[in-house]
Amino acid sequence: MALAVYSPSAEEGRLLVLNDFFVDPAMRRKGVGRALATRLLEEAKAMRVERIDLEVTPTNAPAAAFWKSMGFRTGGRTVYGRDIV
Ligand SMILES: CC(C)(COP(=O)(O)OP(=O)(O)OC[C@H]1O[C@@H](n2cnc3c(N)ncnc32)[C@H](O)[C@@H]1OP(=O)(O)O)[C@@H](O)C(=O)NCCC(=O)NCCS
């Protein structure tokens, strides 16, 4: 399952933000995530999106390894957030 939203920015241009990305635990390490991410990249290209952003928690080493293997890199940015309710 992949859930990404189009998030245009005056500074950054045409972005997609990937909010959720999940492969059934029983189906992992079989190339499903790679196929899904490849499809996402193709659809983003067709939308003329310039970059895809996503967050990985510091303890999620498998996700970090996965996204690195897909060519994603950290940009030296720190995410700030605040709960409203
Ligand atoms: C991260 C996740 C999506 C990977 O999906 P997947 O279908 O298992 O990934 P793939 O089989 O396509 O793996 C592609 C490559 O990513 C890397 N990779 C994937 N899982 C890895 C792991 N647990 N440890 C190290 N490398 C890993 C490998 O390089 C792998 O290639 P290889 O199997 O030929 O070595 C999956 O583990 C998942 O759903 N995790 C829980 C949810 C999550 O953390 N989502 C990401 C939040 S941004």
Domain boundaries along the sequence of the chain: 2-69
Protein residue with least CA distance to atom 32, ligand 1 = 29
pLDDT digits (tens, 9 = 90+) for 36-70: 999 999 999 999 999 999 999 999 999 999 999 99
> Could you tell me if the CB of 54 is within 6 A of ligand 1?
yes
Protein residue with least CA distance to atom 7, ligand 1 = 33
pLDDT at 15: 97
Q: Which of 66, 74, 79 to mutate to test the pocket of ligand 1 (most atoms within 8 A of CB)?
A: 66
Residue 41: phi and psi, rounded to 5, are -65, -40
Q: What percentage of the chain reaches a pLDDT higher than 90? A: 95
Whole-angstrom distance, CA of residue 48 vs CA of residue 59? 32
Question: 18 - beta bridge partners?
Answer: 4, 54
- Does the predicted model carry a pTM greater than 0.85? yes
Beta strand ranges found along the chain (DSSP E): 2-6, 15-21, 51-54
Tokens of 72: 């994603």
Identify the CATH assignment for 2-69 out of 3.30.1330.20, 3.40.630.30, 3.30.2310.20, 3.40.309.10: 3.40.630.30
Tokens of 31: 């190339």
Confidence class of residue 76 from pLDDT cuts 50, 70 and 90?
confident
Q: Three-class SS of residue 31?
A: coil
